[in-house]
Amino acid sequence: MLCRMHLAPFASSSLATRLGTVRTLWPHAETIFTELQQEMEKARQFMSSFEQLLSSQGSTAMEGAPSTSVAPTQGSGEGFSICQDVKNFAPEQLSVKVVGRKVVLVGQKETQSTDEKGSFSYKYEVLKREWDVPEEVDVEALKCSLSKEGQLRIEAPKLALPATLERNVPIQLSPAAPQPGPASEDGA
C-alpha cells in the first residue's frame, strides 16, 4: 500500500515530473475529520429532534396512563389503601388477587373493529400492578370497590393484635455440657 510518507521522496524526484501528479491511497486527515464532524452534527440534530418527539409523546402518554395513589386508610389513619384509575376497563375485565403479602391487580381488554373498507384491527391491552402489603395489615380482610368514575379502591385494616398481658418468663437451668477430654480406647 502507498501512503504519503512513502511517496514523499518520489514526489521530489525527476521521475515525478515525468509521471505527473502523484495520489495517495490515504485521504488527508483534515478531510476525514471534517466529514466526521459533519456526520456528528447530523447525528446530534437527529437525536435532538428524536428527544423532542419522545418528550411530546411521553407527556401525552403520561396523560393517558392510569394513576395510582397509596395512602393510609381514611378515618382511623391505620391500615392499607390504594386507589387505581381503571376507567378504561370494565369490571369484568379486572381481577384482584392476594399472593402471599402482595396484592395483584390485572386488567385485560380486547378490542376488535372492522372499518367500511373491510380492514380489521385487533387491540389487546393489559394492566398489571402489584403492591406489597405491610406485615401489620390484615390481608384476609382486604376489600375492593369500584366507583362510577373508574377508581378502584383496595383497602385492608390494620391487624387487631390482642393486648399482651404482663407475665414472668421462668429461667431454666440446663445440665452442664460434657467437657472434652482425652479419648480412651477399650481394647486393652
Nearest 5 degrees, angle CA 77-CA 148-CA 155? 25
Q: Is 136 helix (H, G, I), strand (E, B) or coil?
A: coil
146-173: pLDDT as tens digits: 999 999 999 999 887 777 788 888 888 8
**How many folded domains does the chain comprise?**
1
103-114: pLDDT as tens digits: 999 999 998 888
What's the CA gap between 85 and 108, in Å, rounded?
A: 14
- Is pLDDT at 14 greater than 80 in this prediction? no
Q: Is 90 part of any domain?
A: yes
Q: Is 151 part of any domain?
A: yes
- Is pLDDT at 125 greater than 80 in this prediction? yes
Nearest 5 degrees, angle CA 79-CA 81-CA 87? 170
Question: What is the CATH number for 149?
Answer: 2.60.40.790
Q: Is 135 part of any domain?
A: yes
- Is pLDDT at 59 greater than 80 in this prediction? no
pLDDT at 28: 66
Cell of 143: 376489600
Q: Which of 28-32, 48-52, 56-60, 146-150 has the lowest mean pLDDT?
A: 56-60
Cell of 99: 399472593
For 47, half-sphere exposure in the C-beta direction (CA atoms, 13 angstrom radius) is 6
Judge whether 139 and 156 are in contact, CB under 8 Å: yes
Q: Is 15 helix (H, G, I), strand (E, B) or coil?
A: helix
Q: Is 176 part of any domain?
A: no
Q: Is 22 part of any domain?
A: no
Q: Is 48 part of any domain?
A: no
What's the CA gap between 11 and 122, in Å, rounded?
A: 71
- Is pLDDT at 75 greater than 50 in this prediction? no
Q: Which of 2-16, 19-33, 42-56, 104-118 has the lowest mean pLDDT?
A: 2-16
Domain containing residue 124: 80-156
Q: Is 35 part of any domain?
A: no
Q: Is 94 part of any domain?
A: yes
Q: Which of 25-34, 43-52, 87-96, 120-129 has the lowest mean pLDDT?
A: 25-34
Nearest 5 degrees, angle CA 35-CA 39-CA 40? 115
